[in-house]
Chains A and B, each alone.
Chain A
Amino acid sequence: KNEVEQSPQNLTAQEGEFITINCSYSVGISALHWLQQHPGGGIVSLFMLSSGKKKHGRLIATINIQEKHSSLHITASHPRDSAVYICAVTVNTGNQFYFGTGTSLTVIP
């Protein structure tokens, strides 16, 4: 079993839809990260969370430490949001990063 599980694996949405990607983890963490990997392969860090909620533009990330769960929301989705979204956690017992397998999002105009 992976330390980090994401759902769904693939997601197709119409432009303008509200999108939610979920992440569950099974290890003790010091932080959770949401990353975006573009079709060309580059990786951008979107959020780093240890509690609560963060917002940046149309993106919102939340984390529930007790339930070991995080969600990434995209409001008013746009075709340029099409990418792979990756959840990763930093374990609190060391320096290890554990990654989810990613959610491939396609937003159709």
Chain B
Amino acid sequence: NAGVMQNPRHLVRRRGQEARLRCSPMKGHSHVYWYRQLPEEGLKFMVYLQKENIIDESGMPKERFSAEFPKEGPSILRIQQVVRGDSAAYFCASSKGTSHYEQYFGPGTRLTVT
């Protein structure tokens, strides 16, 4: 049973480009969470999704960031017009149910904006 998969593991983008980060949850998990870890800082919640629904996006910047979890395929975190401050590690986690269930983390995508 494969764990949570994220790709790419490392992503380099120039300022102004778009970044697309993918997360495939564990088999049987329909809940996905995205977190950001800025350099030298702790993890911060960004968004919580179920299949085809955004449940809580209170941690997501209002502009340039969006997330989706379609019926088929991985969850996507999209960052438009990236800036240097977007450089961070982005982790996704999946669970079987609500936040009362244990979350399993992916290996993360390290985004570097040059």
Enumerate B85-99 residues with CB–CB distance to A below 8 Å.
Answer: 89, 91, 93, 98-99
Assign chain A's interface to a size class: 20 to 34
The secondary-structure label for the interface of chain A is: strand
Collect the chain B residues with CB atoms within 8 Å of residue A43's CB: 43, 91, 93, 105, 108
Report whether B42 and A96 are in contact in the complex, using a CB–CB cutoff of 8 Å.
no
The residue from A45, A95, A98, A100 contacting B56, defined by CB atoms under 8 A apart:
A95
Is A63 in contact with chain B by the CB < 8 A criterion?
A: no
Interface string of A33-55 (1 = CB under 8 A from B): 10100000111110010000000
Contacts of B102 in A (CB 8 A): 33, 45, 48
User: Closest Cβ of chain B: how far from A88's Cβ, in Å?
Assistant: 7
CB distance from A10 to the nearest CB of B (A): 13
Given the complex of chains A and B, what is the CA–CA distance between A45 and B33 in angstroms? Answer: 14
Query: What are the interface flags for A80-107 relative to B under an 8 Å C-beta threshold, 1 for contact and 0 otherwise?
Result: 0000001010100011111111100000
Q: How far is the CA of A30 from the CA of B91 in the complex (A)?
A: 22
B-contacting residues of A (Cβ < 8 Å)? 30-31, 33, 35, 41-45, 48, 86, 88, 90, 94-102
